[in-house]
Structure 1
Amino acid sequence: MPPYLTPVKPVRRIRYLIFMKDVLILALTTFGGPQVHLAMLYERFVKKRRYLTESELMELNALCQILPGPTSTQTITAVGFKIGGPNLAYITLLIWVLPAVSIMTAVGMGMYYLEQHNLSLRFARFIQPMAVGFLIVAGYRIGQKVIKDQISLALAITAALVAYVFRSPVMTPIVIVAGGLITALTYQKHERMEKKPLKIQWANFFLWAGVFIGAAGLGAITQSLPVRLFENFYRNGSLVFGGGQVLTPMLYNEFVAFKHYLTREEFLSGLGLVQALPGPTFCFASYIGALSMRHSGWSGQFWGSFVSTAGIFLPGTFLIYFVYRFWEQLKRYRVVRASLDGVNAASSGLTAAAAIALFEPMAPYWPSVAVVLITMGILFFTRIPPVVIVICGLLAGVVL
């Protein structure tokens, strides 16, 4: 067949459709956080479909780990970008987040409905201490990975103390940036790599920065709650390193301790329930957004969920589009690699502070303490998936 008659586009279109079906399957079946997500991406994208090699997948995942935002979401979006460019990447992002976002939005609306009709929420009473158990274990495991020396240990402890004493969302970016700057000074410990000139395409960076500044300015001028919600989540999504566990203290400080959009019980119930869902834990933002606009009716709750979801996921998407194009050159700079140590150490400290703040009110009540300890024991010493633990907690709440 002559080259001009070769059906290239139909074949490519079929390949894209198969890829999108695979993304949907993953969105409905991937429980357990970034580590489990990566294993399932490997099984489906590398071993089964051969969309890319193992080394290519691991490199993309490493890149996403050093960027702010949801690691699993950025990785799967980057795979879509590699296969079919930016359009397929955006569709990939939408398919990946839609199931969990839909469920958490419905949960947020349902929670408010129960409260309005004075229906008991006692069925979720075990979920709240279980969420604290999940957070403590996640913080411990993050610390094991990122605390490598006395400097990182000191940074983690300092970050925890500062975040615990000064419970303001303003402190979060300060702590993270300070941690990165401190360890950047130790760059000489890192291996020197041959550098190549950086060839940077700035469009997506300016898009990210433009939305960041524009949303902050528009929110300050209009004082519109949907705009401010978008700005709040966009800012948090631009500053969080380390995944959903690190995002938790940022959201708690912002929306519970500082702005009082949610009660502590509502926050913990949503945090526990999101552990039982497939897909990205960043979809917790959808739940918070819906409850934050509870007094605006069903349409307002949906709108709150939408702007919050867009706010939390867009920064990481813009940044992966931006950095992906010159990652090979950037990772050769020792200062960049060194700064990540401090960012990660500070993030682990923030997680510890959030776990302490959430556990404090439970400490006088031995049943809550027992649930926290049992949850931690199950996570540490068994392979029972979080979804099973959460379902058992809900069933126990209904029966007892």
Structure 2
Amino acid sequence: MSLRHYIFLKDVLILALTAFGGPQAHVAMMFKLLVEKRRYLTEKELVELNALCQILPGPSSTQTLTAIGFRLGGPNLAYLTLLVWIIPAFIFMTLAALAVTFLQNRNISLHFTRYIQPIAVGFVAFAAYKISTKVIESKTGIGLMVISAILSYFFRSPWVFPVLLLAGGAVTAIRFKNHPLEPDKKLKIEWSNFILFVAVLVTAAVLGSITKWRAILLFENFYRNGTLVFGGGQVLIPLLFTEFVEFKQYLTSEEFLSGYAFLQALPGPVFAFTPYIGALAMRDYGVGGQILGSIAGTAGIFLPGTFFIFFVIRFWNELKKYRVVKASLEGINAVSSGMVCAAAILLFHPIETNWLNISIVVITFAVLLWTKVPPPFLIILGLLLGLFIP
């Protein structure tokens, strides 16, 4: 690697330690550091790469950074970029899961997290608001969002989500003629990374069904979810809650919400919630098993998006000319925002319904909407209140 590559990885580490606020905030920081200061790429190139990652399943800001690494130094630098970006949050969330297990093994209650749980619901509600204001562009989009919210609220099977996403994309894809025609499309596809993606998926599914070993089953679960999530980490939350809390009951709702609240206090990718879930799902296998579960969760959720970006970036310039691709995004995004709206309601159900918790949700939403108070401050305040107020 060249000196420029090492400097780039140092910049990625700076982002991993300072980029709070989710994908939109991450991209804004990339503009400032990677475009304006370092000039690794132009503003137009970053906008286009981010647009590409928005139409692919997986963590959009992670894929954008990985794609920049790929353009600068090929696959090797891209994989290093991915590791540098996710490792800080991975370490913290794994430690959080180990701490939760330690407390439970000593019969120490998680009651001190009681205030950060409604705060976490406020974060999800705010995410639903932000996503809907950015991606809903028509009455069709509003309709898809409402229908998606209702269906994902009442039908909580993990397989409902991909069906809704595909259906939403199909509804708006029909209106592709509303988009301008792009001439000179010459699509040449290299299939190696897509074949690798499918091979890993099939291998994990087969090994999991044969061995029944939870670490492999977890990897397959997260890998499948990683192929189905459009719209960033907020959309991932309802999928994880349905599968791992309601369906498989690996975590309690209290543990889930506490972990999500911890995540809001961290910089880096929202998808880093998965090592926390993976570690708690393996708590019966000791500390070594929990670390293995954390690794399985992290690898499972991040690999599909990485394979997809490696696959698509080679022919992106031609793919984006197709009107059907552009048109389908509106439906996919509208359905995604509906899922997050439903998630805010679902996540509140396990919390005791009283005026205090409702007020905390509303106040959190209002603070995020009308002030610039950083999310970590709200989480720390919630923890302090839980520790010192009886």
Scaled to the shorter chain, the TM-score interval is over 0.9
- CA distance in structure 1 between the aligned counterparts of 2:350 and 2:91, rounded to whole angstroms: 31
Aligned to 1:108: 97
Contact kept? 2:58, 2:230, Cα under 8 Å: yes
Among 353, 357, 381, the alignment partner of 1:392 is: 381
Query: 2 CA distance for matches of 1:43 and 1:150?
Result: 35
How far apart, in 1, do the equivalents of 2:161 and 2:209 lie?
A: 20
**2:12 alignment partner AA:** V
**Within 2, Cα distance between the matches of 1:27 and 1:156?**
32
Matched residue, 2:154: 165
Determine the C-alpha separation between the residues in 2 that align with 1:211 and 1:81: 21
Matches within 5 A, 1:1-400: 13-362=2-351, 364-400=353-389
Q: CA RMSD in A?
A: 1.1
Q: 1:62-84: per-residue Cα shift (whole Å, max 9, x none)?
A: 11111110011001111111111
Contact 1:362 1:369 survives alignment (8 Å): no
For the residues of structure 2 that align with 1:260 and 1:135, how far apart are their CA atoms?
A: 21
**What amino acid sits opposite 1:173 in the alignment?**
P
CA distance in 1, matches of 2:150, 2:20: 32
- The residue identity in structure 2 corresponding to 1:379 is L
Aligned residues: 389
Q: Tell me how far apart the structure 2 counterparts of residues 146 and 26 of structure 1 sit (CA, whole Å).
A: 26
Larger Rg belongs to: 1
Q: Secondary structure at the match of 2:2?
A: helix
Q: Deviations over 1:177-226 (max 9, x none)?
A: 11111111111111111132101111001111111222122222221111
Instruction: Look up the match of 1:7.
Output: none
Q: CA deviation at 1:363?
A: 6.2
Distance 1:54 1:159 in 2: 34
1:251 & 1:361 partners in 2: Cα distance? 15
Which residue identity is paired with 1:289?
A: G
CA distance in 1, matches of 2:201, 2:322: 27
Q: Which amino acid is 2:159 matched to?
A: V
Question: C-alpha offsets along residues 228-263 of structure 1, whole Å, 9 cap, x if unaligned?
Answer: 100110011111001111000010011011110100
Distance in 2 between residues matched to 1:153 and 1:131, nearest whole Å? 25
Aligned 8 A contact 2:253 2:350 in 1: no
1:361 Cα deviation after fit: 3.7
Residue 327 of structure 2 aligns with an amino acid whose one-letter code is A
The 2-side partners of 1:159 and 1:222 are apart by 36
1:195–1:333 contact (8 Å) kept in structure 2: no
Give the aligned partner of residue 9 of structure 1.
Answer: none
Q: Which moved more, 1:319-328 or 1:354-363?
A: 354-363
Distance 1:160 1:40 in 2: 31
- Secondary structure at the aligned position of 2:40 is classed as coil
8 Å CA contact 2:136–2:142 kept in 1: the answer is yes
SS across alignment from 1:173:
helix
Q: The residue matched to 1:325 in structure 2 has which SS? A: coil
Write out per-residue CA displacement over residues 109-133 of structure 1, whole angstroms, 9 at most, x where no aligned residue: 1101101101132221111100100
Q: Which amino acid aligns with 1:199?
A: K
TM-superposed CA distance for 1:32, in Å, is: 0.8
Aligned-partner Cα distance in 2 for 1:214–1:174: 23
- CA drift at 1:358: 1.3
Once the two structures are overlaid, the 10-residue window that deviates more, 352-361 or 109-118, is 352-361
Detail structure 1 runs of 4+ shifted over 6 Å in the superposition.
none
Q: Which amino acid aligns with 2:295?
A: F
Which amino acid in the other structure matches residue 230 of structure 1? F
- Read off the aligned partner of 1:30 and give its amino acid letter: A
Amino acid aligned to 2:60: T
Measure, in 2, the Cα distance between the counterparts of 1:124 and 1:74: 32
- Once the two structures are TM-superposed, the CA of residue 367 in structure 1 deviates from its matched residue by 1.4
CA contact (8 A) 1:363 1:369 kept: no
* 2:255 aligned partner, one-letter code: E
C-alpha separation between the residues in 2 aligned to 1:222 and 1:195? 50
- Contact (CA 8 Å) 1:114, 1:120: kept in 2 or not? yes
Q: Contact (CA 8 Å) 2:56, 2:308: kept in 1 or not?
A: yes
What secondary structure is seen at the aligned counterpart in 1 of 2:47? helix
1:268-321 deviations in Å (ceiling 9; x for gaps): 000111000010010000000000000100000000000110000000000000
The separation in 1 between residues aligned to 2:135 and 2:92, in whole angstroms, is 33
The whole-number CA distance in structure 2 between the counterparts of 1:54 and 1:15 is: 19
